[in-house]
Amino acid sequence: MRKPVLGGFAWHNCPMNSRRLGLELSILLVVAVIGAACGTSQITPAPSFQPSGSTVASSAPSAPAAESPGPSSTPGATADTAADLALYARIEGQVEQLRQLTPKLPITPVLLDEQGVRDWITKATENGVDHAALAAQSRLFTHLGLLPAGASLEQLEVDLESGQAIGFYDPDTKQLYLLSQSGTVGPEQQLTFSHEFTHALQDQSFGLDKLAISTVDQGDRDLARTALPEGDATLSMTQWATAHMSLADLLSVSASSLVGPQTDQLNTAPAILREDLMFPYLDGLNFVQGIYSKGGWGAVDALYAKPPSSTSQILHPALYSGHIDPVALTLPAVPASLGSGWSMSMQDTMGELQLRVWLEGEHPTDVQKTAADAAASMWAGDRIGLFEGPSGTWAVVLRTQWRSASGRTDFAAAATQTLAGLSSPSSICGDAVTADIVIASDQASLGAFATCKTGE
């Protein structure tokens, strides 16, 4: 339930959406390298990451508009040499030809070192994030068992994304940034630039702001729409690498990406952050690849006029092609029986992806991943809310609907096992195709929100 700005970092200020659209991960390099080395654009993730889909979820903070982009005003930035500019121009021409889009504005990358990336992300976070909303999301995730008690989602995301970022494009300032600790433009920077330049072409051709990925309380839809430009840019990058990178450069990038602190950090991050963060690149690539294989780049371009509306549509492309959109659900009001002092702190939609991550748990086996995938696969819609009252009382209400009775049964069974692992009281209610889950701080709060008292 988060989100970004295409190839850039633009936190979205809504409660459950702190996703980054376009914060390009180190894993991106591995994805492209594997596909290019195999001579195909059908990509599979590196085995060492063991992704089950992709996460974490939020909106990305944009760099302040008053700050003029460029090396002279960006801490940790390196000026480009004439050779660098010529290299960028060559890659731009190659990407334009492959992606079949024509640029309308010039793009000059800014090279940042690791500290420059962290400073940029930290400043963007300070200026562009609803801190109270992210704090509420932290509490929600803690109650669901997705984060440890006392964890700060905001700080976890700043740390993770500062450590994983290798490049980003900011649609607000139209500036493109690349990570280069040495200040040189090597194979890794060239590969990343091909991806980020594709984001610039998307923005100039379709208007990335039209994707509306910063809508309050629409985290699942935002993540799905983020997957469109990220999948597009990853496919374009892979085609560029296949056509224009030498095997030696591909292997060099692969070797530097498969081991090291970035890999360790990603593998040890909470599953909800890791999966949300990787989803736009891996599952987004699979989705766009399927569209491209049937209609080429023209068919991909058409997606921007009607972008996907749920992670379920990304995971099951037939739902998108069949125009099967999510069901809109609403949450109950605060029960009068609870008295004064209670209010809804936040609400959002988790979606199939995040419900699957919740069912999997933190360190799932392959069997658990398969079971969770099946249990979430018939998702039709959901709505989740965090209600908070006096003296630290709280309740999480999750309303879900499923496309079949068997889908509802499978989800309820899996959710029952997940709830058994939580220390707070809970219940599951519903009918043939709906399941309402309530988790609360105490039995009185649970009883006030639950529509049944004993679960299934």
Same domain for 370 and 278: no
Let me know if residue 10 belongs to a domain. no
Give the three-state DSSP class for 305: coil
Give the end of a domain, one of 280, 298, 313.
Answer: 313
* pTM recorded for the entire structure: 0.85
Cα 177 to Cα 167: distance, rounded to the nearest angstrom? 5
Does residue 96 lie in a domain region?
yes
Classify residue 365: in a domain, yes or no: yes
What is the mean pLDDT of the segment spanning 261-288?
A: 90
Taking only the tens place, the pLDDT of each residue in 203-251 is 999 999 898 776 778 899 999 999 999 999 999 999 999 999 998 888 8
Judge if 274 and 350 occupy the same domain.
no
Alpha helices, DSSP H, located in 207-270: 219-244, 247-258, 261-268
Q: Are 415 and 390 in contact (CB under 8 A)?
A: no
Residue 318 domain-assigned? no
User: pLDDT: is 455 or 346 the higher one?
Assistant: 346
Is the residue at 328 inside a domain? no
Same domain (yes/no): 388, 306: no
Check whether residue 346 and residue 218 sit in a common domain: no
User: Both 193 and 248 in a single domain?
Assistant: yes
- pLDDT for the residue 434: 97
Task: Specify if 156 maps to a domain.
Answer: yes
pLDDT at 102: 96
pLDDT at 454: 47
Residue 365 has pLDDT above 60, yes or no: yes
Whether residue 73 is predicted with pLDDT greater than 50 in this model: the reply is no
Which structural domain range is residue 62 located in? 26-313
The whole-angstrom separation of Cα 91 and Cα 104 is 16
3-state DSSP assignment of residue 44: coil
Q: Are residues 49 and 184 in the same domain?
A: yes
Mean pLDDT over 432-436 rounds to: 97
Is residue 343 within 8 Å of residue 385, measured between CB atoms?
no
Q: Which long-range contacts (CB under 8 A, 24 or more apart) does 135-142 make?
A: 136/15, 136/345, 136/346, 136/386, 137/1, 137/15, 137/16, 137/18, 137/58, 137/346, 139/345, 139/386, 139/388, 139/394, 140/16, 140/346, 140/384, 140/386, 140/396, 141/272
What does the block give as tokens for 360? 């999997």
**Does residue 5 lie in a domain region?**
no
Provide the number of structural domains found in the chain: 2
Name the domain boundary from 313, 346, 361: 313
Q: Note whether 75 and 164 are same-domain residues.
A: yes
Do 193 and 155 touch, CB atoms closer than 8 A? Answer: no
**Domain edge (last residue) among 313, 344, 360:** 313
pLDDT confidence tier of residue 159, bands split at 50, 70 and 90: confident
- pLDDT at position 11 is 24
**Mean pLDDT value of segment 64-72:** 33
Joined together, the tokens standing for residue 162 give: 């500062």
Distance between CA atoms of residues 116 and 139, nearest Å: 30
pLDDT band at 162 (very low <50, low <70, confident <90, very high): confident
pLDDT of residue 136: 94
251 and 365 inside one domain: no
The closest alpha carbon to 170, from 22, 282, 300, belongs to: 22
Q: Are residues 297 and 408 in the same domain?
A: no
- List the single range of 17-21, 154-158, 209-213, 298-302 with lowest mean pLDDT: 17-21
CA dist 72 and 302 (Å) reads: 39
Do 33 and 176 fall within a single domain? yes
| Domain shared by 136 and 212, yes or no | yes
Query: Does residue 370 sit in the same domain as residue 290?
Result: no
In a domain, 6, yes or no: no
Residue in this structure with the two tokens 């195709």, named with its chain if needed: 433
